[in-house]
Amino acid sequence: MDRTFTTIIEPFRIHSVEPLRMTTPAERSAAIEEAGFNVFALRSRDVLIDLLTDSGTGAMSRDQWAAIQHGDESYAGSPSWFRFEAAVKDLFPFRHVIPTHQGRAAEKILFSVLGGPGKVIPNNTHFDTTRANVEASGATALDLVIAEGHDAAVLHPFKGNMDLDRLENLLGEHRGDVPVVMLTITNNSGGGQPVSLANIRATSEICHRHGVKLFLDACRFAENAWFIHEREEGQEHREIADIVREIASLADGMTMSAKKDPFGNIGGWLALNDDALAEDCRNVLILTEGFPTYGGLAGRDLEALAQGLSEAVQPDYLRYRIGSTAYLGNALLAAGVPVVQPIGGHAVYLDARALLPHIEALHYPGQALAVALYVTGGVRATEIGSVMFGRQPDGTEVAAPMELVRLAIPRRTYTQSHIDYVVEVVTAVAGEADSLRGYRMIYEPKALRHFTARYQPLE
């Protein structure tokens, strides 16, 4: 008899382990104070469960470690490069693949060529580095996600979708000023929410009708394709790789952080069809990253990524990946903790505004919650709210659309009991939410302030 069991099991067993170090609340209080109350400034050995990011923090597979042994470090034309290029083109058949050391290097190259003063670059929601690279070129970064994407509690299967009317209007009004439209799959800053295939098709149609290029920010493409497979009518019988190829066929290029879905500890690329644009980008690449057949990467990294790409689209893995993220989110919901719904792909986003209504936006409720999670249970998470997005290019400070704290789940790294522990810690902190106080920022750098800001707790 073919029975169905509901326990989500990790579709792998453990082959090599890393120790975790237990700490006391007193040790953690001292550590966070020394870090200026910024979790980015902690030493990771003082963190028990590190949910700061899913970027570069995943566990590589046996086959990736084996592939590393095939790394060929020839400066030009290495076989590792050709394996990497073939693996990228198998899923994303763009004419040119330009390897970079990580995603923001691809962004930097693309926007230094296409951006500049007077240019406008929309996205569903720009990730922080994407926005910063657009703005560093002198261009304006706009977020055009659908209205549901700004409401943490509303249920919508594809909350990452582009607002097509706003895009159409923007391209009409700013004729000639928009060199490229970006689409982030999944929409990280908006809660790890997917974009539907229908919305990608419609965005592509609008861009091309206006003669504007569409580029994907595709870090979490496999998770997005899984949501399309699960939620979009007519997609349930397709292979994940086939959905990914269709998504790629609708775009003119992509930027990629291979530290996410492709299971890299480092890596990225820029891929595109336009020959002249590719030549301009390669010229910047050679100045800043390296020769076009390795970019910012070692041959062994290229091998690990080629293997990782084939693992990223396997259905057993994706079912577990998305199911285990939902497990964390649903357990928190059941405990009465407000989280962004539906649960996203790589992370669960706590709604700090709903949990801490007594802390005003510019006293950083998400920052207060992130510090409390660390001190209470050694769990490190990241604020995605007014700390990350509050400072405007004109120097003013405004409240971000949402005050979130992201629990990002490294791939294939933590077990269900680690996650059960996280549920306990978050629930305990939520139970004492009234006692949390806001923060005052006492130092901030010019850009990307969340990485190095320092704070003082308010009385």
Residues making contact with ligand F0G (CB under 6 A)? 53, 55, 102-104, 127, 129-130, 184, 188, 217, 219, 257, 259, 268, 408
Tell me whether residue 64 or residue 255 sits nearer to ligand F0G (CB atom).
Answer: 255
Q: Name 289's Cβ contacts closer than 8 Å, sequence gap at least 6.
A: 99, 100, 101, 105, 109, 295, 296
> Least distance from C-beta 67 to ligand F0G, angstroms?
20
Residue type at position 96:
H
> Least distance from C-beta 132 to ligand F0G, angstroms?
10
Residue 412's nearest CA partner among 161, 64, 72 is 64
Tell me whether residue 127 or residue 414 sits nearer to ligand F0G (CB atom).
Answer: 127
> Using N-to-C axis directions, what is the helix angle for 365-377 and 25-34, rounded to 10°?
140
Residue 269 β-bridge partners: 99, 256
Tell me whether residue 223 or residue 311 sits nearer to ligand F0G (CB atom).
Answer: 223
Tokens linked to 70: 């095939």
Residue 351 β-bridge partners: 404
Looking at beta carbons, which residue is closest to ligand F0G?
103
Contact 436, 341 (CB under 8 A): no
Residue 225, judged by CB atoms within 10 A of its CB (0-12, 13-18, 19+), counts as: buried
Contact 90, 308 (CB under 8 A): no
Residue 143 β-bridge partners: 123
Tell me whether residue 84 or residue 127 sits nearer to ligand F0G (CB atom).
Answer: 127
Measured CA to CA, the distance from residue 419 to residue 416 in angstroms comes to 5
Contact 386, 361 (CB under 8 A): yes
> Least distance from C-beta 125 to ligand F0G, angstroms?
9
Tell me whether residue 28 or residue 104 sits nearer to ligand F0G (CB atom).
Answer: 104
Tell me whether residue 265 or residue 427 sits nearer to ligand F0G (CB atom).
Answer: 265
> Least distance from C-beta 455 to ligand F0G, angstroms?
20
Tell me whether residue 129 or residue 196 sits nearer to ligand F0G (CB atom).
Answer: 129
Measured CA to CA, the distance from residue 332 to residue 312 in angstroms comes to 27
Tell me whether residue 132 or residue 359 sits nearer to ligand F0G (CB atom).
Answer: 132
Residue 370 β-bridge partners: none
Query: Dmax of the chain from CA atoms?
Result: 66
Tell me whether residue 132 or residue 433 sits nearer to ligand F0G (CB atom).
Answer: 132
Tokens linked to 186: 């999944």
> Least distance from C-beta 329 to ligand F0G, angstroms?
17
> Least distance from C-beta 319 to ligand F0G, angstroms?
22
Peptide bond into 342 cis (omega under 30): yes
- CB half-sphere exposure, 381, CA atoms < 13 A: 32
Helix (H, G, I), strand (E, B) or coil at 233: coil
> Least distance from C-beta 91 to ligand F0G, angstroms?
17
Tell me whether residue 218 or residue 352 sits nearer to ligand F0G (CB atom).
Answer: 218
Tell me whether residue 109 or residue 278 sits nearer to ligand F0G (CB atom).
Answer: 109
Measured CA to CA, the distance from residue 184 to residue 112 in angstroms comes to 19
Residue type at position 246:
E
> Least distance from C-beta 32 to ligand F0G, angstroms?
20
Tell me whether residue 103 or residue 194 sits nearer to ligand F0G (CB atom).
Answer: 103
Beta strands in 347-402 (DSSP E): 347-351, 379-380, 382-384
> Least distance from C-beta 53 to ligand F0G, angstroms?
3
> Least distance from C-beta 176 to ligand F0G, angstroms?
26
> Least distance from C-beta 127 to ligand F0G, angstroms?
4
What's phi and psi for 192, nearest 5 deg?
65, 30
Q: Are strands 268-272 and 96-100 parallel, antiparallel or unpaired?
A: antiparallel
Distances in Å between the Cα of 9 and the Cα atoms of 5, 95, 261, 416, 454 are: 10, 39, 19, 8, 40
Q: Name 291's Cβ contacts closer than 8 Å, sequence gap at least 6.
A: 75, 76
> Least distance from C-beta 24 to ligand F0G, angstroms?
28
